[in-house]
Structure 1
Amino acid sequence: MVAAQLVGGLPGQGWTQVGELALAFALSAAIGLEREIRQKSAGLRTHILVGFAAALIMLVSKYGFQDVLGRHVALDPSRVASQIVSGIGFIGAGLIFIRRDAVQGLTTAATIWMTAAIGMAAGAGLWLLAIIVTVGHFVAVFVLAPVSARLPRSKYAPSLLHLTYLQGLGVLRRVLEVCTGRGFTMSELSVDRRTERHDPAAVTVWLSVHGPGAVSELTAELSEIDGVLAISSHDADSSYP
């Protein structure tokens, strides 16, 4: 009890709670580092702040009101912590973008929500559960993601093509002809204006296509077109840069 009452004789400020905060910080940083390396919209700092703050709120909910408890005062220790679940939705909603039939940022938003839950578990002293969920995140990212990539792709699932080409050569018309010839349908085209500042003769566009064929074979054929400078494919749930 002495170790738990370091400041002002109040419980909840001992080395046990410091360790729980440190665990939340470390686990959140591990997830945030993975997101940072993948250059997602929410990276290292965001995940650390979410998990660290969730752990602190959990501790405040558990210990922050014990000095007002008495015979006629009864408090629900879960009432503050429960607001984390709904409050974190505002951050997650800001990470999700919808462009016609493509949704980007959904996985990142879910990761933010999971990081808050890990911070809550660490703050509640459930360190084993917090560690297991963190390990589960990396299993989902590094083990299940490659497996899902090998599953048969639906012809209705869109893919994003990032295409850079020279103007005035009819490249875009030829690209559309190749896509149509392979059974792909284009549902969206947007221009990436950043390329114009570096090379006025080059144009970079995002194409959203879907079809029954292999996207890798499509991009290989498109790269052979005269005037195509660069082309890459991305999943529809990846973010626009």
Structure 2
Amino acid sequence: MQTAGLFSHIPGEGLLQLQELGLAFFLSALVGLEREYRQKAAGFRTYTLVGVSAALFMLISKYGFDDVLSAGRVVVDPSRVAAQIVSGLGFIGGGVIFMRRDTVRGLTTAASVWLTAAIGMACGAGMTIVALLTTLGYLAIMFLTPGWLRRMPRASREGFKISAKGDARSNFVDHACTVLTRLGFTLGHVSQERQNDSEALLFTVHVHGTKAPEEVVTALMRLPGVQAAWSEKSDESLD
């Protein structure tokens, strides 16, 4: 039984479907506003379009084939369209994830794009309460938990930059990498620069670990060929 309303003579084009699209628009826009507020790569327009598009795909899957269905002869599986929405969102998510030196950025944005599509699909499927509670849960996570997470005790694993200057002929770079790995550090972006056509070599690496920078500098200064070593705070952070 179709809901009476605008275009109610056409299957799937009644007031109920317009309400579901409107709900998808509203909830997706809320997610987009949060991302816009944080000035992320994908903002209000992207999220609104993703959510409404997912809802529209669900409505097409549910009602778009009524004119070709024939009892006992033509049967369609509405879940196939929903499955393709999930896999198709991968190219949008992949487009907002990028690597800066040794840090991955955009994971939260990609995950929220995926979530927005799910909210839109829930609206299109008529699962109003699920869509509303999911959106409220997302907003609670994004606005309420950051302060709590910053206060939560955790094991120290700071990221910083280590530089060492030494004689290039001593092969101190390989020894330095071995020492850093032995100390439990994860090595990121590495650079080497020869100093003014001399035999001096400047070695720089971004590291993440639990040891204090002073302890690392002391260990590097013990290596043969190392003339100087120092640390700097890294400006890299996760999205």
TM-score range, shorter chain: 0.5 to 0.7
3-state SS of 1:121 partner: helix
Q: Percent identity?
A: 54
**Of the two, which has the highest radius of gyration?**
2
Cα deviation for residue 146 of structure 1 reads 1.6
**CA separation in 2, counterparts of 1:159 and 1:12?**
57
Q: Aligned residue for 1:24?
A: 24
Q: Aligned residue for 1:48?
A: 48
Moved more, 15-24 or 100-109: 100-109
After superposition, the Cα gap between the structure-2 partners of 1:159 and 1:76, relative to the gap in structure 1 and judged at 3 Å, is farther
Cα deviation for residue 64 of structure 1 reads 0.1
After superposition, the Cα gap between the structure-2 partners of 1:44 and 1:235, relative to the gap in structure 1 and judged at 3 Å, is farther
What count of residue pairs does the alignment treat as equivalent? 182
Moved more, 148-157 or 58-67: 148-157
Any conservation in 2 of the 1:158–1:208 contact (CA below 8 Å)?
yes
Cα deviation for residue 237 of structure 1 reads 1.6
Any conservation in 1 of the 2:92–2:110 contact (CA below 8 Å)?
yes
Q: Aligned residue for 1:61?
A: 61
Q: Aligned residue for 1:135?
A: 136
Any conservation in 2 of the 1:20–1:55 contact (CA below 8 Å)?
yes
Any conservation in 2 of the 1:29–1:48 contact (CA below 8 Å)?
yes
**CA separation in 1, counterparts of 2:28 and 2:158?**
32
3-state SS of 1:68 partner: coil
Letter of the 1:76 partner, please give it: D
**CA separation in 1, counterparts of 2:128 and 2:235?**
37
Which runs of structure 2 are paired with 1:135-214 in the superposition (5 Å)? 135-156=136-157, 158=159, 187-188=188-189, 210=208, 212=210
- Residue ranges of structure 1 left out of the alignment (5+ in a row): 161-183, 191-206, 215-231
After superposition, the Cα gap between the structure-2 partners of 1:49 and 1:39, relative to the gap in structure 1 and judged at 3 Å, is same
**CA separation in 1, counterparts of 2:8 and 2:128?**
27
Any conservation in 2 of the 1:5–1:12 contact (CA below 8 Å)?
no
Which runs of structure 2 are paired with 1:73-152 in the superposition (5 Å)? 73-152=74-153
Q: Aligned residue for 2:35?
A: 35
Q: Aligned residue for 1:14?
A: 14
